[in-house]
């Protein structure tokens, strides 16, 4: 009987010796799990904050860009001009005034007049507070109809956009447009001529032979370094020649 009591005591002593170990291990796991949950919660809060900040910044950017485009669209100078400003696509077209004759790259007098009214408005918008912040460049896009090969029309569309560029800088092309030297220098940095051939053709060939201005704006992560802005390399005033 005494032997059994001694065995029971030894057994209880063993259990009591093991309990502190398992209780400490359980507490350690609980602490680690709690720490993990805290870290995850903090990380989630940081990520959520960054997403909210980025979303808010993008909303502000879109709103300020819309203000730039709207200031051009609603300018009273363009009220009587055949100019349409699409603030959803950030494009400017001249309707019938911006159309060209078959195989012709010279902008008609109505288009020159509309362009003369538009350019000072665009420069004012680019020089505004929001414009200096977001306005990147304006691409002059020349288009053609589907007659002829792609490469022929690519060259023709480029000549049309170059003609528009020349009409902004050379008085021989547009005597009515009186720009200062500073404005011409800004045009060289802001405007870029490009040809599109018969890509994005319209329903009719007449409507396809056109020129449009596509406004581009900086993204949130882009650096507004003037050295990275497009320069007037495609066309120079010396290369602008009146047709024979």
What is the Cβ-side half-sphere exposure of residue 178, based on CA atoms within 13 angstroms? 1
Sheet holding 211-217, edge to edge: 84-86, 91-93, 211-217, 135-142, 191-195
Phi-psi region of 90 (alpha: psi -120 to 50; beta: other; left: phi over 0): left
Q: How far apart are CA 239 and CA 166, in angstroms?
A: 9
DSSP state of 171: T
Name the residue ranges covered by the structural domains of the chain. 62-239
What is the CATH code of the structural domain delimited by 62-239? 3.30.1330.60
To the question of pTM greater than 0.85 for the whole model, the response is no
| Predicted local distance difference test score (pLDDT) of residue 230 | 43
Q: How far apart are CA 30 and CA 90, in angstroms?
A: 57
Q: How far apart are CA 96 and CA 107, in angstroms?
A: 11
Structure tokens belonging to residue 157? 């569309």
Instruction: Provide the residue-wise pLDDT of the chain in tens; the chain has 244 residues.
Output: 445 555 444 555 555 555 555 557 677 777 778 887 888 888 878 777 777 777 888 899 999 999 999 999 999 988 888 899 999 999 999 988 899 999 999 988 899 999 999 999 999 999 999 999 999 999 999 999 999 999 999 999 999 999 999 999 988 888 878 889 999 999 999 999 998 888 888 888 988 999 999 999 999 888 545 444 444 344 555 567 655 4
| Predicted local distance difference test score (pLDDT) of residue 44 | 79
Give the residue carrying structure tokens 């011409």: 184
Whether the Cβ atoms of residue 157 and residue 146 lie closer than 8 Å to each other: no
Q: How far apart are CA 64 and CA 203, in angstroms?
A: 34
Q: How far apart are CA 83 and CA 121, in angstroms?
A: 12
Give Cβ neighbours of residue 242 (< 8 Å, ≥ 6 apart).
172, 173
Rounded to a whole number of angstroms, the distance between the first and last alpha carbons of the chain is 130
Q: How far apart are CA 212 and CA 175, in angstroms?
A: 22
């Amino acid at each position: 009987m005494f032997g059994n009591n001694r065995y029971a005591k030894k057994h209880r002593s063993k259990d009591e010796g093991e309990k502190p170990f398992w209780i400490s291990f359980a507490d350690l796991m609980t602490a680690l799990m709690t720490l993990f949950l805290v870290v995850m919660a903090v990380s989630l809060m940081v990520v959520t904050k960054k997403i909210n900040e980025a979303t808010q910044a993008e909303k502000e950017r879109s709103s300020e860009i819309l203000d730039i485009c709207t200031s051009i669209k609603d300018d009273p100078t363009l009220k009587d001009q055949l100019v349409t400003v699409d603030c959803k696509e950030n494009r400017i077209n001249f309707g019938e005034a911006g159309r060209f004759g078959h195989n012709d790259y010279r902008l008609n007098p109505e288009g020159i007049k509309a362009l003369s009214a538009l350019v000072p408005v665009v420069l004012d918008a680019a020089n505004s507070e929001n414009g200096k912040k977001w306005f990147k460049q304006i691409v002059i896009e020349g288009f053609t109809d589907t007659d002829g090969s792609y490469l022929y029309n690519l060259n023709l569309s480029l000549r049309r956009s170059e003609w528009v560029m020349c009409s902004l800088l050379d008085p021989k092309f547009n005597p009515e447009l009186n720009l200062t030297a500073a404005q011409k220098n800004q045009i060289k940095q802001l405007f870029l001529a490009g040809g599109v051939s018969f890509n994005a053709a319209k329903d009719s060939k007449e409507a396809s032979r056109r020129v449009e201005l596509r406004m581009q704006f900086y993204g949130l992560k882009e650096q507004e370094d003037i050295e990275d802005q497009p320069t007037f390399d495609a066309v120079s005033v010396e290369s602008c020649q009146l047709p024979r």
